[in-house]
Amino acid sequence: MKELTFRPLAFLNAVLVAGASLMTTSSEVNAKEKNVLELPLGLKAFKVPPDNPLTNAKIELGKQLYFDKRLSSDNTVSCASCHDPDKGWSNDAAFATGVDGQMGGRSAPTIINSAYFPLQFWDGRAKGLEGQALGPIANPIEMNLPIDKAVEKLNAIAGYKKQFRKVFKTDVTADGIAKAIASFERTVLSGNAPYDQFKAGDESALSPSAKRGMDLFFNKAKCSACHKGHSFTDLAFHNLGVGYDKDNPDIGRFQVTKLEGDKGSFKTPPLRDIHTSAPYMHDGSLKSLKEVVNFYNKGGVKNAQLDEEMKPLKLTEQEVEDLVVFMKEGLKSARYPYVEPPELP
Ligand code: HEC
Ligand code: HEC
């Protein structure tokens, strides 16, 4: 991943000019604040909660917290352990390993472009990035540190106390931890891929195979029925039959809504820079993009709640390959959102 490295500070300055607060749309920013929000080509402006405006100081603080293993009970696990910039902001295992080597039953989703998702987790049980951020710290099989303990621990570190005073005008609080981490996550953006350059008029940006793959993606293979919009997700939940086990099913979205039709449904994941975050699916059961396309080609796995879009696709071997090339090359950002682990206080 070396060739993808770039200096994170330059990136932050590109997103936010001079510590300006980020508004809901770039035109609003231009009109009201006379500041430019530069998003990578192809991405749209996103909303930031009104009580958590983005500032450079808050993003820097959030970055430190994100990489800090002291937010776990035994100082061995940070957010980056499972959502690692070197591994597509995910990890390279089917399941994530927390403190004491404990494993959960779902794979770690990427953080890339999560700024756009109103509901977090495979089943959408958390609202927004602020609503998600404290969960893994306290989760016994992830970081296993009760939030009041985490607050106490950070308050004893002078460098954190000072930054919280500066950013939030308070000592370290749970609310501030969530807001700072969420702000950092919002800067992990992927755009400006050959697909975007092609759409912007550069015919040569996509190889012939990637172009054929793009056509399949939006037409014959109907991937865009669910992977739509600039981040390639409809932000909705679908049952593809992934990992379907009639005796012991992961009920997915049903857990939140209790609607029969939501049994075994999971959130449509985004697809930019998807080549960096294998293995795939909520249970990490598919090891490569080729396995994913073969899975769709067969029409998923039959079960009572299988999504109506899931039908055998009758793709030829060449077409399977073209779809893979479209995802691998066509959705690969010109500048992968790499971030070096920062120095910690
Ligand atoms: C032990 C591994 C592990 C650690 C540590 C961990 N996560 Fe996660 N994370 C996961 C898994 C697994 C999921 C999916 C769980 C699910 O959907 O039920 C997840 C889901 C998420 C999501 C939702 C993404 C989406 O697209 O829905 C976000 C955001 C996130 N984690 C951020 C964080 C932050 C911030 C931290 C640190 C405070 C953190 N994670 C620590 C494993 C981990
Ligand atoms: C009916 C909606 C739907 C359609 C159609 C669809 N997808 Fe998906 N896609 C999803 C959902 C939902 C998941 C997660 C499923 C799970 O883990 O249970 C997913 C997962 C994926 C993943 C894995 C992403 C990750 O981070 O693990 C890839 C890659 C993918 N889809 C590509 C495609 C391609 C290529 C097509 C067309 C051949 C396609 N999808 C068609 C909804 C859809």
Tokens of 108: 């770690």
Instruction: Report the b/e string of 307-336 with b at 16+ CB within 10 A.
Output: beebeebebeeebbbbbbbbbbbbbbbebb
Least confident of 256-260, 307-311, 341-345: 256-260
Least confident of 5-19, 27-41, 110-124, 229-243: 5-19
Which pLDDT score is estimated for 24? 37
Which pLDDT score is estimated for 264? 93
Distance from residue 293's CA to the centre of ligand 2 (Å): 9
Which pLDDT score is estimated for 15? 43
Average pLDDT, stretch 179-185? 97
Tokens of 256: 């939140």
Is it the case that residue 34 has pLDDT exceeding 50?
A: no
Nearest residue (by CA) to ligand 1, atom 15, is 121
Give the ligand whose atoms come closest to the C-alpha of residue 281.
2
pLDDT band at 150; cut points 50, 70, 90: very high
Q: Which residue has the higher pLDDT, 279 or 99?
A: 279
Task: Of 87, 50, 20, 55, give the one whose Cα is nearest residue 184.
Answer: 55
Residues flanking ligand 2, CB < 6 Å: 221-223, 225-227, 238, 240, 242, 266, 268-269, 271, 274, 277, 280-282, 289, 292-293, 296, 307, 309-310, 323
3 Cβ contact list (under 8 Å, min separation 6): none
Angstrom distance (rounded) from CA 118 to CA 131 = 10
Is it the case that residue 22 has pLDDT exceeding 50?
A: no
For the chain, the average pLDDT equals 88
Average pLDDT, stretch 190-205? 97
Least confident of 13-17, 191-195, 244-248: 13-17
Which pLDDT score is estimated for 96? 72
- CA distance readout (Å), 40 to 7, 136, 187, 222, 317: 16, 29, 11, 26, 33
Which pLDDT score is estimated for 25? 37
181 Cβ contact list (under 8 Å, min separation 6): 62, 65, 66, 79, 129, 133
Which pLDDT score is estimated for 2? 32
Give the ligand whose atoms come closest to the C-alpha of residue 100.
1
241 within 8 A of 251, measured Cβ to Cβ: no
Average pLDDT, stretch 45-66? 94
Is it the case that residue 336 has pLDDT exceeding 70?
A: yes
236 Cβ contact list (under 8 Å, min separation 6): 226, 267, 268
**What value, to the nearest 5°, has the Cα angle with vertex 139 and ends 162 and 274?**
90
Nearest residue (by CA) to ligand 1, atom 22, is 121
Give burial (CB, 10 Å; 0-12/13-18/19+) of 9: exposed
Angstrom distance (rounded) from CA 8 to CA 4 = 12
CA dihedral 309, 314, 315, 316 (to 10 degrees): 170
